[in-house]
Amino acid sequence: MTATLPLPAAPTAQPNDPRFETVSCYLCGSTDSVELLWGEDDLTGKPGRFRYVTCVDCGLAYQNPRLTVDEVKEYYDGEYIAHRKKTDWGVLTPFYEWAMDRHDRQKDALVSRFIRLDETSEVLDVGCAVGTYLQTVRRRHGARVTGVDFKDLRAHPSLEGVEFHCGLFYDQPLADRRFDLVTMWHFLEHDYDPARTLATARRVLKPHGRLVIEVPRLDSMTYRLFGRRWPGVQAPQHTVLYDRVRLLRMVESAGFEVVEYLPYGAFPAFFYFFAGTAFTILDGKGLDLQKAIYPYFAGQLLLAPFLAFEKQLNFAMQTVVCRRKEGDR
């Protein structure tokens, strides 16, 4: 925690706390909202309570007030799983690595249904973390790969061969109409300015390029099951909780047309069943990933017959594939 002493040690979203800032709706600009839920950092158990609201005018669910950028950084430190700092999982290391590689292959399989990549293709991953997805793309298609992340991860060996940009996506000097494919895997729900991010994606995308966005889906089975302990809340990192309608409206208002909408993603829905159950039992105490990995794999085996319906049953994720609007190509 930062040394902001007379304030309570744990940030709790309230109007006078300088660690927070009030925002208006990311989709329609309205300041009119009703309370939706109070979220916590269930994954790490770090203290703090964060308020989510629903916009009265357009229905978008978002965190308000939100932590300032400086304050939220702390919540990305340490064992944030996407940054893959932890590599030793004991005897389960090969399973862990297989699961993570499988995730990157799933992303590639999903994208490959909508765009054919080769060695002339330019691919950009926004929120690339340590770049393992981009490495998969490079290995499989020979494409040139670029990644942006606000964490400086350039020393990480898996970013070798990736054109890595550190900082905010819309601040990067990326040429107009450069990319055949822009991907955002679980990025947009973390974003402090999604409209600007989408406008930038449109600018850097080639006329016939594709933008692929995966985010957790608010109007899903797992949200109905777990409510404020839904892993998609992931407070305070998640700034926006998208349902299908609001996700589509967001991309369309940024000048995209939807090629396809999928009620699933490359990210395993099982994680949301598992973590939602664990978060409900732990009641905000944080999940010990080292201990959780055994029941995680056991549960995955048990639920396999049910999980076979992942693509039909709207468990937890959503993916939208878009292109520039017709007149803009």
Chain residues in the site for Zn ion (CB under 5 A): 25, 27-28, 30, 55, 57-58, 60
CB of 33 to Zn ion, least distance (A): 8
CB of 30 to Zn ion, least distance (A): 4
Cβ-based nearer residue to Zn ion, 125 or 243 = 243
Q: Which of 133, 99, 100, 13 is nearest to 64 (CA)?
A: 13
CB of 22 to Zn ion, least distance (A): 14
Cβ-based nearer residue to Zn ion, 30 or 112 = 30
Cβ-based nearer residue to Zn ion, 60 or 129 = 60
CB of 118 to Zn ion, least distance (A): 41
Cβ-based nearer residue to Zn ion, 57 or 288 = 57
CB of 54 to Zn ion, least distance (A): 9
CB of 46 to Zn ion, least distance (A): 29
Cβ-based nearer residue to Zn ion, 32 or 160 = 32
Cβ-based nearer residue to Zn ion, 110 or 215 = 215
